[in-house]
Amino acid sequence: MWKGALTEALAKYNTDRSILFYALATLARDPAPIPRVRYVVHRGFVNDACPEGEECDCLLTTTDLRSAKAEQILEASDAPVEIAWYIAPERRQRHRFPDHKLQGKTSKLDWDRERVRVWNSLSETMQSAFYGPPPGQPSAQVKDMSSNMMANNTNETLPENFALVVIDPKEVDMLDLQHARRTIFVRQEKRTWTSSEVAP
Ligand SMILES: Cc1cc2nc3c(=O)[nH]c(=O)nc-3n(C[C@H](O)[C@H](O)[C@H](O)COP(=O)(O)O)c2cc1C
């Protein structure tokens, strides 16, 4: 299954941080639809601690709720996103996850706990960005400001603008360039998957 191949590749090359970056595309309305794409960091899968759980094939990344991407994602509850992920060392594999929705509200999972778990995995530099000015604002004194705010944040609550982005795949398009193999995985009911080989 695609998740096995993906986690195996990530584990194999875990000294290379760059394999964790993928491109996340969203649609902005300006007012006509316009594509936007940027890199984000793979933060594992939902409920990584319990890999047999309901959302175990949902990918996780994080963002600032004040960012443009968050606005685009939140604009509609069924906002489509797509990620493209090129894993160069692993026989030049490319994974593409088209037509996904973001979800996460309705399940039984403890999302507060999940949010704390992922927050704790971020570096201090990453965490401090959430205490600075909104992304895209002039950056004068950003560093001082965010470190002061970090130091003053004595309570245990996370910044409200820290958000998990949950990518709930409906389809995965996996291309292995070295062996010229392309496999399309499609999610079925009850979160099982079928796969078919197609021309690259
Ligand atoms: C390698 C790399 C990893 C990044 N990871 C993230 C991330 O995990 N989350 C995030 O919000 N932005 C991340 N960024 C910054 C985004 O690519 C983007 O520049 C920023 O979030 C603003 O995007 P937006 O205006 O489309 O929201 C990363 C940038 C790079 C170059």
Residues paired with residue 181 on neighbouring β-strands, in sequence order: 176
Q: Which of 72-81, 83-92, 123-132 has the highest mean pLDDT?
A: 123-132
Weakest mean pLDDT among 62-76, 93-107, 133-147, 158-172: 93-107
Q: How far is the CA of 164 from the centre of ligand 1 (A)?
A: 13
**Considering only CA atoms, which of 135, 28, 33, 31 is closest in space to residue 74?**
28
Q: C-alpha 92: how far from its chain's center? A: 21
Q: Under a CB-based contact definition with an 8 Å cutoff, are residues 129 and 146 in contact?
A: yes
Domains of the chain: 2-149+156-198 (2.30.110.10)
Q: Under a CB-based contact definition with an 8 Å cutoff, are residues 195 and 185 in contact?
A: yes
Nearest CA to ligand 1 atom 18: 38
Helices (H), 109-153: 111-121, 124-129, 142-152
Q: Which of 20, 22, 36, 40 to mutate to test the pocket of ligand 1 (most atoms within 8 A of CB)?
A: 40
The pLDDT value given to residue 101: 46
| Tokens matching residue 177 | 């360039």
Task: Give the percent of the chain with pLDDT over 70.
Answer: 78
pLDDT digits (tens, 9 = 90+) for 100-150: 444 444 456 788 888 999 999 999 999 999 998 999 888 765 555 555 555
| pTM, full prediction | 0.87
The pLDDT value given to residue 22: 95
pLDDT digits (tens, 9 = 90+) for 35-60: 999 999 999 998 776 656 566 888 99
pLDDT digits (tens, 9 = 90+) for 170-179: 899 999 888 8
Nearest CA to ligand 1 atom 30: 39
Q: Under a CB-based contact definition with an 8 Å cutoff, are residues 55 and 47 in contact?
A: yes
Q: Under a CB-based contact definition with an 8 Å cutoff, are residues 193 and 186 in contact?
A: yes
The pLDDT value given to residue 149: 59
Cα–Cα dist 64/53, whole Å:
26
H or E element at residue 26: strand 21-29
Tell me how long the chain is.
Answer: 200
Q: Under a CB-based contact definition with an 8 Å cutoff, are residues 40 and 61 in contact?
A: yes
Q: How far is the CA of 142 from the centre of ligand 1 (A)?
A: 17
